[in-house]
Amino acid sequence: MDTIRLQVSQLREKAPELKAGDRVLLSGTVYTARDAAHKRFMELLQKNEPLPFPIRDSVIYYAGPTGTPPHLAIGSCGPTTSGRMDPYSPLLLDLGLAAMVGKGQRSEEVCRAIVRNRAVYLCALGGAGALASKCIKSCRVIAFEDLGCESVKELTFEDFPLIVAIDCSGGNLFLR
């Protein structure tokens, strides 16, 4: 099986070609957000206020990186369990989110939203956050700094290794 190299900017266009089980090396701008940040996203949307980054065609990585050592771009940055974001994900997908990166299966409602919006869910290898951090070239906090490791960060991925877990046609590695 070949590995597919993709830029974040290509995800929307290439999503129909991606199938559950495909290996992807993703490069480009990705945003971290976990439970607390997603809750704040919903509060902002309820007030008709903008999110801290443009959601359309973006990628959210469910991660809370550890502190950054002086000689690195980021500390350990592995995925967290995606299911905790399931209550929020369908709305973000309906607003144009192109992809989510995390670990573990998703709810039926999220799966339907992925298909409806021609998006994709990508899984990162859990337990390998230090290794994953080598594929992150920059990191800066862009919102909710008070949340510490759960603040929203803008990352630059370079050939970040992922597996397509749920594709936009409904293929799902967790249902095989």
> Would you tell me how many other CB atoms lie within 10 Å of the CB of residue 171?
18
Burial of 63 (0-12, 13-18, 19+ CB in 10 A): buried
The one catalytic residue among 12, 38, 40, 103: 38
Q: Which among 164, 173, 38, 40 has a CA at the least distance from the CA of 101?
A: 164
Our answer to whether residue 71 is catalytic in this structure is no
138 bridge partner residues: 156
DSSP 107: -
Report the phi/psi class of residue 94: left, alpha or beta, with left for phi > 0 and alpha for psi in -120 to 50: alpha
Q: What is the CA radius of gyration of the chain?
A: 15
Q: Which residue numbers are catalytic?
A: 38
